[in-house]
């Protein structure tokens, strides 16, 4: 047979096979997945998340993946319980008192507590842990700033503390009493003690593995954990999973219902997280807003609207007089007000967050102390925006660039909506999407027109938001490098930072927030809602905005 004829027969057969396959796909109906009829791995909580921790050392960690593990392996002097973000409860400290100056705090410690390796917990461990954070002063993350706001810092050159007597802020009174002598009477002091940076580590373990070196991270501690918390680290297979097991020495005991093991998996693909949850191979999964509908109504799956998070998204504006050697329109307060009116906030909430968000009302989110629920909010009003631009001398508009980050799809979507909104009022916007390190570098240099970025809580205090957002760079604020500076605002937030009377403090923040809205350095876009998605056989889960994406594993059980 000639090759030409042979190829013709083969081609005909291939066509028939392709057509048959296509018809099979067309008529194929996937069999409905059978609901899982039994609890899988009843003693293990399997959690599908995205991202691997950078470190598990509380003196270095400054990210959600690591914090979620640290919260459950280490304890702190105080804590939050369940979904209650208003009350600070005892933990390793059973009680405390403060003197009239607000600077001297005395903590009475829980007796009989042991680390997971059997070493005793005492006041020396408390002093060691706090001193370590400030001496180490993690060059990788800079998280020590939280304590150095109000505690005496360490001088690595002299080997002494920057205090009147050359000693640290933490003083041991006896084995179970410790005193904090603060440099300033910080209003958010107790709240910072509940954050991961205030976790108590085992001095013996640290000293056996590198000790404490000024201005240097401890590589061993970043990979290993010995705490007094309910769980202990069993295995960390980088970029795959972290496995925890209950700590037999846990002072809280193991009566009642608890999971014995925890496996936090790093699952990059959203579809894989969905499938593992549906099959019961995961008990809980991190699912983005635009995929929630995939799981709603599915048998065995609970989609729980747990209330507002403290996570906020904003669009920062470069307010400097010039940018790239040219007069900067955004330096004009009326222009920034106009942009605030130009944005269609409700469209962003609907299209980007699928309705699982509210418009952010100023620099202090809802639910946090000193939030002002009566604070003025800008709304979508193109006519008002045009009027303000005309008053500012920009009736014919101008051009800006909106900077976003590769992989941050929500921010890119927001930027496209903002671009359309600005075009409505005569402002031409270009969206520029760059790698995160490049964006952060440009942000640090104030090299942008507008930037879309967000913020998540470190600790439950307004100073953790309003000060880094809007206080001027000269006094340690302006994280986003907008260049905004208001002397009255600076005075108010500095006074509020160190005011310990809650009513006086909130009155100061009320004035500061009103200034920030009238003279906006950023557009307050959204405060997101938390949606917990997990198997119906999982019990005990309660969302707390202070510990975003960090469940309390001890409360969980399956049945």
DSSP 292-314: GGGTTT-TTEEEEEEEEEEEEEE
For residue range 414-464, what is the model confidence (pLDDT) as tens digits?
Answer: 999 999 999 999 999 999 999 989 999 999 999 999 999 999 999 999 999
Angstrom distance (rounded) from CA 79 to CA 200: 13
Q: What is the pTM of this model?
A: 0.89
Phi-psi region of 325 (alpha: psi -120 to 50; beta: other; left: phi over 0): left
pLDDT score recorded for residue 70: 98
Among 336, 328, 313, smallest CA distance to 465 is for 313
pLDDT score recorded for residue 34: 55
Parallel, antiparallel or unpaired: strands 322-323 and 326-327: antiparallel
Map tokens 């005309």 to a residue.
Answer: 390
Q: How many residues does the chain have?
A: 559
Angstrom distance (rounded) from CA 372 to CA 530: 21
pLDDT score recorded for residue 406: 93
Is 187 in a helix, a strand, or coil?
Answer: coil
Cβ contact 205:119 at 8 Å:
yes
Domain 308-529, CATH among 3.40.720.10, 3.10.105.10, 3.90.226.10, 3.40.980.10: 3.10.105.10
Cβ contact 302:536 at 8 Å:
yes
For residue range 353-363, what is the model confidence (pLDDT) as tens digits?
Answer: 999 999 999 99
pLDDT score recorded for residue 19: 37
Percent of all residues in the chain with a pLDDT value above 90, rounded to a whole number: 91
Domain ranges, ordered by start, for the chain:
51-221+542-550, 308-529
Is 439 in a helix, a strand, or coil?
Answer: helix
pLDDT band per the 50, 70, 90 thresholds, residue 548? confident
Query: How many CB atoms within 10 Å of residue 378?
Result: 20
Per CATH, 51-221+542-550 and 308-529 having the same topology is answered: no
pLDDT score recorded for residue 35: 58
Taking CA atoms, 13 is separated from 5, 6, 7, 22, in Å, by 13, 11, 10, 14
pLDDT band per the 50, 70, 90 thresholds, residue 286? very high
For residue range 396-410, what is the model confidence (pLDDT) as tens digits?
Answer: 999 999 999 998 999
What's the CATH number for 51-221+542-550? Answer: 3.90.76.10
Task: Say if residue 58's pLDDT is above 50.
Answer: yes
Task: Say if residue 217's pLDDT is above 80.
Answer: yes
Angstrom distance (rounded) from CA 70 to CA 544: 16
């Amino acid at each position: 047979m000639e090759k030409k004829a042979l190829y013709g027969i083969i081609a005909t057969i291939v066509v028939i096979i392709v057509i048959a396959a296509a018809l099979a796909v067309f008529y194929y109906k996937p069999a409905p997945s059978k609901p899982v009829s039994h609890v899988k791995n009843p003693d293990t909580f399997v959690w599908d998340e995205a991202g691997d921790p950078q470190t598990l050392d509380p003196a270095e960690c400054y990210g959600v993946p690591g914090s979620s593990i640290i919260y459950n392996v280490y304890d702190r002097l105080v804590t939050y319980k369940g979904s209650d973000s208003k009350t600070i409860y005892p933990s390793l400290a059973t009680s405390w008192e403060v003197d009239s100056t607000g600077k001297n705090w005395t903590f009475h410690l829980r007796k009989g507590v042991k680390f997971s390796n059997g070493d005793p917990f005492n006041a020396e461990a408390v002093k060691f842990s706090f001193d370590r954070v400030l001496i180490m002063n993690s060059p990788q993350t800079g998280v020590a700033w939280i304590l150095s706001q109000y505690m005496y810092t360490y001088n690595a050159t002299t080997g002494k503390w920057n205090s009147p007597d050359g000693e640290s802020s933490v003083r041991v009174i006896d084995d179970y009493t410790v005193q904090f002598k603060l440099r300033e009477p910080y209003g958010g002091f107790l709240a910072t003690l509940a954050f991961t940076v205030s976790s108590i580590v085992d001095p013996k373990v640290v000293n056996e593995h590198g000790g404490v070196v000024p201005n240097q991270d401890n590589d061993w501690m970043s990979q290993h954990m010995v705490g007094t918390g309910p769980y202990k680290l069993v295995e960390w297979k980088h970029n795959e999973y972290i496995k925890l097991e209950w700590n037999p020495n846990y002072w809280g005991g193991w009566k009642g219902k608890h999971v014995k093991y925890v496996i936090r998996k790093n699952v990059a693909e959203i579809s894989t997280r969905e499938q593992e949850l549906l099959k019961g191979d995961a008990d809980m999964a991190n699912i983005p807003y635009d995929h929630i509908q995939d799981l709603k109504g599915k048998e065995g799956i609970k989609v729980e609207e747990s209330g507002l998070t403290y996570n906020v998204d904003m669009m920062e504006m470069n307010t400097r007089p010039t940018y790239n050697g040219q007069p900067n329109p955004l330096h004009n307060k009326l222009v920034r007000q106009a942009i605030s009116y130009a944005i269609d906030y409700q469209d962003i909430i609907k299209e980007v967050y699928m309705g699982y968000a509210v418009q952010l009302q100023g620099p202090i989110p809802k639910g946090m102390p000193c939030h002002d629920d009566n604070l003025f909010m800008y709304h979508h009003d193109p006519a008002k925006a045009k009027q303000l631009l005309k008053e500012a001398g920009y009736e014919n508009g101008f051009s800006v660039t909106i900077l976003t980050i590769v992989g941050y799809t929500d921010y890119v979507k927001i930027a496209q909506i903002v671009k359309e909104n600005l075009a409505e009022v005569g402002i031409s916007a270009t969206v520029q999407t760059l790698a995160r390190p490049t964006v952060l570098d440009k942000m640090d240099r104030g090299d942008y027109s507008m930037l879309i970025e967000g913020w998540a809580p470190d600790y439950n205090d307004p100073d953790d938001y309003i000060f880094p957002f809007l206080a001027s760079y000269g006094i340690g604020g302006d994280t986003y490098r907008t260049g905004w500076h208001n002397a009255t605002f600076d005075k108010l937030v500095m006074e509020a930072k160190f005011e310990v009377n809650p009513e006086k403090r909130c009155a100061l923040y009320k004035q500061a927030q009103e200034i920030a809205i009238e003279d906006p350095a950023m557009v307050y876009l959204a405060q997101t809602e938390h949606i917990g998605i997990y198997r119906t056989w999982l019990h005990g889960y309660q969302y707390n905005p202070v510990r975003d994406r960090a469940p309390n594993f001890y409360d969980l059980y399956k049945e």
